[in-house]
Amino acid sequence: MDPADEDIIYDWLQKNPELMVSHVLLTHKHGDHAGGAPGLVERLEEDYKAAGKPTTIEIVIGAGENQSFGTKKVKGVGTFEVNEIKVKHISVPCHTGGHQIYYLEDLNNKEKKNDPSEPKTVYRCVFTGDTLFIGGAGKFFEGTAEQMQKNFDEIRKLPEDTFVFCGHDYALANFQWASAIFPENEALMSRYRWAEEMNKKGICTIPSTVKDEIETNIFMMTGDPALQKKFGVEDEASLMKELREWKDQKKTFESKNE
């Protein structure tokens, strides 16, 4: 998934020789996600060839990302299987035009639920790239607020115990800003205190769960009448647009009044 740095992944694979790579999944074309993919695949294919193993590694990327190194281009919604794992790709255009998120499910343990206190045991998860961050959303470089609203609705539909692995750990900054926008929301405020605690301890906030995001990510609250009223809007996409613009400008209601 998004091998931005080929050396880290390659070195880890050297230490775990029982594992072979058959697919590299790319959420989108940006270098800090996809940059290491061609080099990694080239090195692995050479190693596998020398060892007499199957050598073809698929690089999955969204159609329209204009990256020549993708060998399997996907769009819309579709599934494929890798060993006993079902991979569902969902097109979520906005951050980039061909951005994909990937929902993975362990086919042998479909009825089991993830335990948030055991994030290393994963029965289902979603890789959201730069579309949804813990407590935040990616920038709308190649799309609209309407599109991002639909993308968040897709994530909302996933099982609530799904672990969320996003592309960057921006949780503290996201909750810090959101808490100044919507301090009346107790769940959000307690998540902000949690992010501060994690930051003090130097612990990564990833993964969260779909349930966490629905309850505490302000970009998931576009249907909240109190929040819509604060911004003077009456529909979800308009609130999505306002939130993105305010976040880009680091604007809050306090700073607006200064």
Active site residues: 28, 30, 32-33, 95, 130, 168
Strands 85-91 vs 77-82: parallel, antiparallel or unpaired: antiparallel
Q: Would you say 28 or 124 has its CB closer to Zn ion?
A: 28
Kindly state the smallest distance separating residue 24's Cβ from Zn ion, in Å: 17
Q: Would you say 30 or 124 has its CB closer to Zn ion?
A: 30
Kindly state the smallest distance separating residue 251's Cβ from Zn ion, in Å: 22
Q: CB under 8 Å, gap of 24 or more: what pairs does 140-143 form? A: 140/94, 140/95, 140/244, 141/94, 141/95, 141/96, 142/93, 142/94, 142/95, 142/96, 142/97, 143/93, 143/94, 143/95, 143/96, 143/97
Kindly state the smallest distance separating residue 151's Cβ from Zn ion, in Å: 14
Residue corresponding to tokens 């979520």:
92
Residue-wise DSSP of 94-116:
SSSTT-EEEEEEEGGGTT----T
Closest CA to 100 of 239, 1, 208, 222: 1
Q: Would you say 93 or 182 has its CB closer to Zn ion?
A: 93
Tokens of 255: 């700073």
Kindly state the smallest distance separating residue 130's Cβ from Zn ion, in Å: 4
Which amino acid belongs to residue 214? I
Kindly state the smallest distance separating residue 61's Cβ from Zn ion, in Å: 13
| CA dist., res. 31 & res. 66, Å (int) | 13
Q: Which residues bind Zn ion (CB under 5 A)?
A: 30, 130
Q: Would you say 105 or 130 has its CB closer to Zn ion?
A: 130
Q: Give the number of other Cβ atoms within 10 Å of residue 255's Cβ.
A: 11
Q: Would you say 32 or 234 has its CB closer to Zn ion?
A: 32
Kindly state the smallest distance separating residue 139's Cβ from Zn ion, in Å: 8
4 half-sphere exposure, CB direction, 13 A CA radius:
9
Residues 82/23, Cβ–Cβ less than 8 Å: yes
Q: Give the number of other Cβ atoms within 10 Å of residue 76's Cβ.
A: 9
